[in-house]
Structure 1
């Protein structure tokens, strides 16, 4: 049976700013892929939106407690038109394949210190 899976997340821009200030490159490289960083630079609002996008996708995939998924296995990048696009790799791609999940669509927004993301996909389980 085909089902619709969704995930939504809200992230505070100040939390991303604080994490970058406290952990710098270590935080950035553990959370964001090189392509994500190239797409958004150091813009904390856009980084927060990508973070929310990753979390929304993970909520859609619903990993079990014993199924750790590195945040870099979910990339929210820009397509040629500038729209956000989800690329899955590693453990995230394995989870998506296991549930028969089709391409994941994501919508991002940020305003007044908050970033929100919603992810949607069709799944066979």
Structure 2
């Protein structure tokens, strides 16, 4: 049976700004991949959109509370046309395979200090 899975998240840009101000490089390296940082130019608005994208994908994958996913295992990067796309590695890729999850699509938006993301995928179960 094919099932549609969705996830959505809303992130305040100020939360990302505070994370960077408080923890600097340690915060950035713990959450974002090098590619995400390069794609965003370390701009807090764009990073907040990627953070929301990561959270939306995690909600779509629905990991157990006992096995949370590292946020770096979900990367929201730009394809050759500049559209956001999702790359899963490590535990996120393993969970996606275990639930029969196909490619994940993501939509990002940011405005007035907020960043929003929605993720959608089909699973075969």
TM (normalized to structure 2)? 0.99
Q: Which runs of 5+ in 2 are unaligned?
A: none
Partners in 1 of 2:119 and 2:74 — Cα distance? Answer: 12
User: Is 1:58 aligned with 2:58?
Assistant: yes
**Worse overlay, 83-92 or 62-71:** 62-71
The superposition leaves residues 59-80 of structure 1 with CA deviations (integer Å, 9 ceiling, x where unpaired) of 0000001112110000000000
The superposition leaves residues 65-99 of structure 1 with CA deviations (integer Å, 9 ceiling, x where unpaired) of 11121100000000000000000000000000000
User: Which residue of structure 2 aligns with residue 86 of structure 1?
Assistant: 86
Partners in 2 of 1:100 and 1:61 — Cα distance? Answer: 10
Q: Which runs of 5+ in 1 are unaligned?
A: none
Partners in 2 of 1:42 and 1:54 — Cα distance? Answer: 16
Query: Shift of the alpha carbon at 1:31?
Result: 0.3
Computed over aligned residues only, the root mean square deviation of the Cα atoms, in angstroms, reads: 0.5
State the 4+ residue runs in structure 1 displaced beyond 4 angstroms. Answer: none
User: Which residue of structure 2 aligns with residue 26 of structure 1?
Assistant: 26
TM (normalized to structure 1)? 0.99
User: Which residue of structure 2 aligns with residue 123 of structure 1?
Assistant: 123
